[in-house]
Amino acid sequence: MPLKDILVYIDGSREAPATLAAACALARDHDAHLTGLAVDRPPEIPGYAAIEIPASALEIIETQRKETAATARDMFEKAVAAAGITDRSGWSLARGMPLESLSLRSRYADLVIVSQHNAESQHGGSEDMVDDLILVSGRPVLVIPYIGAPAKFGKKVMVAWNASREAARAVADAMPILEAADSVEVFAVEPNGIGDAPGADIAEHLARHGINATASKTTGLDIDVGDVLLNQIADSGADLIVMGGYGHSRMRELVLGGATRHILEHMTVPVLLSH
């Protein structure tokens, strides 16, 4: 299925412009429609406190919310105009909690694009929101590093392969991007139990789709899988990684560590994740 309907979440953080630029570039390259989404989150004021707040203060809060939404829309409209995709774009403003609003809207798109959580940012979403979105949206999630993405990405792609359900789902979801790539490396880390030539089977499958794919592996390492993947990205010059998200429970990864969480915390290039 071609990539024709993309949703980008504009969260009001300082990382939003870079994420929006990456979304515009991807939409332009794939001749896809791009929808910008902002979420107007109502202030959480306990009932007992609300009656003590002057009406003038509530009006100020309401004005600020409207200004924030207007700023996000203005940023989106200027970005799509600069990318030349105004005629293939649309704006949406949801009201409610960000995760619920974003996960619902994402189900009407081929791909949802969000910013990597930046602990130093004061206005971005929570770290858990990206994690939760991967688990509940039912759609592939493309996370853009808070340092930004290359002007052109998805030309040299690395697929993190372990033959899991999640990895297979990620490959299928990323197929339009993989088909447009110049090269694809299927990279297996400690690939015990998935055959004598790990990655060769999925590389052959990709080749049948006209994708220039090679398979490689690494074994006998004493460092975490996440670090191995990051090192391989640096060594290969990959500009996008495709991987399954949370093959183990998120709680297990929080306690014991895991590749998904490590990549989300330390990513240097865009990451497409599916669960």
- Total tally of structural domains belonging to the chain: 2
Among 92, 112, 144, the domain-final residue is 144
Are residues 227 and 196 part of one domain?
Answer: yes
| Per-residue pLDDT at 46 | 62
Residue span of the structural domain in which 238 resides: 156-274
Are residues 164 and 62 part of one domain?
Answer: no
Q: What is the pTM of this model?
A: 0.90
Q: What is the pLDDT of residues 213-247, one digit of tens each?
A: 999 988 766 778 889 999 999 999 999 999 999 87
Q: What is the pLDDT of residues 21-69, one digit of tens each?
A: 999 999 999 999 999 999 998 876 666 655 666 767 667 777 888 999 9
Are residues 160 and 140 part of one domain?
Answer: no
Among 144, 170, 191, the domain-final residue is 144
Are residues 133 and 10 part of one domain?
Answer: yes
Are residues 266 and 177 part of one domain?
Answer: yes
The answer to whether residue 151 sits within a structural domain is no
DSSP structure string for the chain: ----EEEEE--SSTTHHHHHHHHHHHHHHTT-EEEEEEEEPPP---HHHHTTS-HHHHHHHHHHHHHHHHHHHHHHHHHHHHHT-GGGEEEEEEES-HHHHHHHHHTTSSEEEEEPP-TT-SSS--HHHHHHHHHHSSS-EEEEPTT---SS-SSEEEEE----HHHHHHHHHTHHHHHH-SEEEEEEES-TTS-SSTTHHHHHHHHTTT--EEEEEE-S--S-HHHHHHHHHHHHT-SEEEEE--SS-HHHHHHH--HHHHHHHH-SS-EEEE-
